[in-house]
Chains A and B, each alone.
Chain A
Amino acid sequence: MLDKLFNRPRKLANKPDSVDIEPVEENPRVPISVRSLSRHFGDFKALENISFDLAKGESLGIVGLNGAGKSTLLQIIAGTLKPSSGEVLTSGRLVAMLELGTGFNPEYTGLENIYLNASILGIPRKTIKEKLPEIEAFAEIGDFIHKPVKTYSSGMSVRLAFSMLTQVNPDIMIIDEALSVGDAYFSHKCMNLIRKFRENGKTFLVVSHSPSAIKSLCDRAILLEKGVMTKMGSPNDVLDYYNAIIANKEEEFLKVEQAESKGRTTTRSGNGKARIQSFDLMDSMSQPRRVFEIGEYLKIYCSIKANIELECPTLGFLIKDKLGNDVFGTNTHHLKFDSGTIRTGELLNLVFETQLYIGAGEYSVTLAAHEGDRHVIENYDWYDGVVIFRVIPDSSSYFTGIARLPAQVNFAPDDVKLRRHYSYGLRIDPQSEQPMSRYLVEGWSVIEVDRTWTDGEKATIMLDIEPSKTDRTLRLDVTPYVDSSKPNQAIHISLFGKTLFSVKIEKRSILEIPIPKNRLENQQLLHVVINTPDAIVSKPISDPRHLGIALHFFEII
């Protein structure tokens, strides 16, 4: 009876109760060798006949849907679980980060938690004491390290947990779904750290739902489906196959949700004059897809059915990121597309096409059919988050942020001369040969035909002037912004950081500011700062600008 209740511990090459593992004689160079491994929980087959070898310095990604057995596999390799049959041979020191921050207790400070977590990972206390600055620098949480973890943001505790990575020095490292947490900057930092580990010939085993992590970190990937290893190969091949599974899965899911959504009005709203009948995402070859590389073509197919006759209905889509921020949206109205007249019962089928110059991540698509340019006017059907798709990095260079802007870099031919050169006596106005815009550094509105307004309380002119042996005068032709509530504008003009001139004006005037010659001995950049503390937003003309004065021309004579 007891034998039935307890599986007698099988003789395993990896000792689950030990972190240091002696090399396996029969296969000394293979850090991990999994041989026809199976694991059953009662009748449930969590893993079925899994076999693979991992060479030194190789890194393997494990992908699969939730419940496919990924974590069970890692637990068996790490030695916390025993297989039902088959064996796992490992050689070398193994560290498993099965869950980041195991043993983090919110009542204790970050530092106290580091010490405990370190001893769980087998890092001696002494090492931690010595390397504390390094850990702190990696975690980048500042003085919070001395505060209880309960005061941390979730991002901070992830940072702290990951900082332990800098101190482990295993031959084999197992990481379970940890790389997708934290902000982009930090996960990039972690990726770099892991790459460095790999360059040092460490063996890696990674479970991740993030295709980009697998693609960029792994040499090989395996796909688990319901406990069976259905695919092994290059990360690209395996992920393509995996993505196909996800797409199928999501379609099934959608059907269900559509059926359910009849009673729900939160995600779908509209007056019913038209209904979105069907939709799909496709690639440039018009094949349905849910995963796209950055820069790939995305086609959004959408079909609406008119329930009454509609005159040029608008159909649009909106892409939102994981946090619900609008990334990009447009519609037939903005695209100046004439959708024509649709009679009752007729379908309108459209395909939008765009190119996904957006960052890697998960996005949702919202579809809408309405009248006019926005759905608030008359909303036929608004379907929020109808479909999820994923953007993954392509082979080109890494970037940060949410959008990929075209970027390039070249060596500058020389120290670039910013062309603000000014010769004495030259009158600069909006019509002058020397463009006025090159001298207007900050605090200015758009240049109009004969003037340019200051926007805000401070506007700066910058001039690259030649040395002068005589005193000079700066002349400014300005018009104050005045209305009934503000009869005049105060103007302070400073040069070399010192206010040289203050005046209050009611109407257009020419200001003359003397510049002593001793200030003009060298070729230099002259900063003319115009302060207009009374600048106001004019209410009657609903102009958001903070108007102070308008500048018509300036010159130094």
Chain B
Amino acid sequence: MTKAGILEIFRQHELILELTKRQLTLSHKGSVLGVVWILLSPLTTLAIYLLVFGFIFGGKFMPDESKFDYGLGIFLGLAIVHFLSEIFGTAPQVMFAHSNYLKRSTIPIQIIPVVTLLCAIFHLLVSTIFVILGHIISKGSLSPNTLWIFPLGMCLFSIGLGLSWLLASLGTLFRDISQFAGPLSLGTLFCSAVFYPIDQIPESIWNILKFNPILHVVNELRSTVLWNEPIDLGALQYLIAVSGTTLILGWFVFSFTKSKLIEIV
């Protein structure tokens, strides 16, 4: 059943895409600027953080870095954190939001957290393309190390999907979970080296923070894409292990609780 359940996701790709499209347009439907908001809202956030951390606190990743490059660095980190925040915020309630589909149709419900993931990926992609364009404008070319974006992305998406399933299930069973979405997002934002380079982290704190996989995603993406540095293979191995575990854990928790979920919503 588990295997068939996973395969079903690929078989239902059309439905997943339709639902994703619906989900993506839903929040902008009826607004004046419409899809422009997909770009506008992360840019506004970026402006605020750049103002506070770049200009007021005088933050820098590199000693001789321009404010534009610092902005790009923050933006990349923010995009990744937003990706997770979106999942934290949406997944715990997503089954309730789709209760109609659960009760009134025979669609396989494991695809619903997948839709959540795809929406988050879409927003992340838009921001990433922005960063890469910005980087080309600033530096004139892309480094070959940019290709590391693919394995790192896969790790991030696996973590996202695992969390999406996990939170969709737990958030439905225990409604308190969704209350943690805010603190969790804020914690991820400040503990993932979005505004500072990792070598600024004091040793004592690093010993804790080094287990945060998102910190590594942010740091490795930044160093490979923006600073043309080779990837830290140790970090990559750690990410692969964590993302695999999260994915499998999320899937098992979800399929284990699936029949319960239909009854609850």
Binding site for B on A (CB under 8 A): 5-9, 11, 15-19, 41, 75, 78-82, 94-96, 98-99, 102-103, 105, 107-108, 112, 115-116, 119-122, 124-125
- List the 6 closest pairs (A to B, CB-CB), nearest first: A119-B15, A99-B104, A17-B108, A98-B104, A119-B18, A102-B104
Q: Choose among A7, A94, A102 the residue that contacts B100 (Cβ–Cβ < 8 A).
A: A102
In the complex, the answer to whether A102 meets B8 with C-beta atoms within 8 Å is no
Interface mask (B14-36 → A, CB under 8 Å = 1, otherwise 0): 11001100100010011000000
Determine which of B30, B105, B110 lies in contact with A96 in the assembled complex, contact meaning CB atoms within 8 Å. B105
| A6-B257, A108-B22, A116-B18 known; A18-B4 Cβ under 8 A | yes
How many residues in B have their beta carbons less than 8 Å from beta carbons of A?
31
State which of B4, B103, B104 has its C-beta within 8 Å of the C-beta of A15: B4
Let me know if B106 and A125 touch, CB within 8 A: no
B256 to chain A, nearest CB (A): 6
Residues in chain A near residue B26, CB distance under 8 A:
105, 107
Q: Which residue of B lies closest to A115 (CB)?
A: B18
Q: Are A5 and B104 in contact (CB under 8 A)?
A: no
Number of A-B contacts (CB under 8 A): 88
Residues of A within 8 Å of B15, CB to CB, are: 119-120, 122
Inter-subunit contact B105/A120 (CB<8 Å): yes
> B258 an interface residue at 8 Å Cβ cutoff?
yes
Q: Which of A11, A80, A95 lies at the interface centre, i.e. has the most chain B CB atoms within 10 A of its CB? A: A80
For the complex with contacts A17-B8, A41-B263, 17 further pairs of A-B residues with Cβ separation under 8 Å are A8-B256, A9-B255, A9-B256, A9-B259, A17-B1, A80-B105, A81-B259, A98-B103, A102-B101, A103-B105, A105-B22, A116-B19, A119-B18, A120-B101, A120-B107, A121-B105, A125-B18
The interface residues of chain B lying within 8 Å CB-to-CB of A120 are 15, 101, 105, 107
Chain B positions 227 through 265: 1 when the CB is less than 8 Å from some CB of chain A, otherwise 0: 000000000000000000000000000011111101100
The answer to whether A80 and B262 have CB atoms under 8 Å apart is yes
Nearest CB in chain A to that of B103: its residue? A80
A residues within 8 A CB of B256?
6, 8-9
Q: List 13 A-B contacts (CB under 8 A).
A: A6-B257, A6-B259, A9-B259, A18-B4, A18-B8, A96-B105, A98-B103, A98-B105, A99-B100, A102-B105, A107-B29, A112-B22, A120-B15
What is the bound-complex CA distance between A81 and B260, given in angstroms? 9
Interface residues of chain B, those whose CB is within 8 Å of chain A, are 1, 4-5, 8, 14-15, 18-19, 22, 26, 29-30, 100-110, 255-260, 262-263
Find the residue from A41, A94, A108 having the highest chain B CB count within 10 A: A108
Chain B residues near A98: list those with CB within 8 A.
103-105
Given contacts A80-B262, A105-B26, contact A9 B14 (CB under 8 A): no
By a CB distance below 8 angstroms, the chain B residues around A81 are 259, 262-263
CA distance A41 to B255 in the complex (A): 21
Measured between beta carbons, the chain A residues less than 8 angstroms from B106 are 16, 19, 78-80, 94-96
* Shortest distance from the beta carbon of A467 to any chain B beta carbon, whole Å: 71
Residues from chain B with a CB closer than 8 A to the CB of A116 are 18-19, 22
A266 to B102, CA, bound (A): 42
